[in-house]
Amino acid sequence: MILFDSHCHIDDKCYDNDLTQVMDRSRQNGVKAVLVVGIDRATSKKAIDIASRFDHVYTSVGVHPHDAVQCSAQVLNELRQFALTHDCVKAWGETGLDFNRMFSPQEDQEACFSAQLALAGKLDLPLIFHERDSKGRFYEILKSDGPKSRKGVVHCFSGTKEEMFKYLDLGYYIGITGILTILQRGEYLRSIVPLIPRDRLLIETDAPYLTPTPQKNKHRRNEPAFVRSVMECLAQVRGEDPDQLASAVFKNTLDLYNIPVDPAWPDK
């Protein structure tokens, strides 16, 4: 099985003392590549530093909606420079709207989101989207602001079937996390995941958050190795061969992030 953890936060300080071991475990579980996602200037810079230490680690840069109040022109310019000067930067984000906790006012979130959509477009980078409880506003902005050629993934999807089809109609990928494996919390998601076209699926851990079952019973901290459990559950729910589905999802991730195939990776 060949796996790509398409969204994790191994820049988090909880990995500072054992990151090498974390990466070793990921390789032992078939995780051939990971993408470390930036949520502000500091985490984007740390993600780039991590990518310089490990093979097949890629990054994104961006400002999370929680931090939109800090989304100044200076910060965006610094992130732009990161993207222009570091080959490991393959995407912009995570960016979007989060009206659940409202750590930043709606006006600031929307302005920050629109600015990042424009900047990613100029840099020709795919986007990593975050949406929570935006009551349709996220979709409205996506549909009205930008070209149809824009590429992106709705990270950690946990919305409705209707929302999922709207994102698919816009051409976006759907990112599936360990929520899928959790008995009650993932019940609805499991009912709609078979409806996602195979060529629009990505898997992710969102580590250190959202630890999947069965690791959730023993480990509070999630890590890239556990994305294997997400894939195994995804294949079971969809009634597909796990190795074949994993290979297809790996290819999807390379396609989205414009990452060339490494001859060192197996064919499946």
User: Which residues carry a binding-site annotation for a divalent metal cation?
Assistant: 7, 9, 94, 130, 155, 206
Q: Which helix (H) or strand (E) holds 201?
A: strand 201-203
Tokens of 11: 């820049």
Are 141 and 110 within 8 A, CB to CB? Answer: yes
- Counting runs of H as helices and runs of E as strands, what totals does the chain give? 9, 8
Tokens of 72: 């100044």
Task: Pick out the residues of the known binding site.
Answer: 7, 9, 94, 130, 155, 206
Its sign, for the CA torsion 233, 37, 129, 259, is negative
- Sorted by sequence, the CB contacts under 8 Å of residue 103 that are 6+ apart come out as 65, 66, 67, 69
Q: At what angle do helices 227-238 and 242-257 cross, to 10 degrees?
A: 120
Q: Taking Cα atoms as reference points, which of 172, 204, 194 lies closest to residue 238?
A: 194
Q: Where are the beta strands (DSSP E) in 18-156?
A: 31-36, 57-61, 89-98, 127-132, 152-154
Are 234 and 203 within 8 A, CB to CB? Answer: yes
Q: Which helix (H) or strand (E) holds 250?
A: helix 242-257
CA distances from 94 to 6, 130, 153 (A): 12, 6, 10
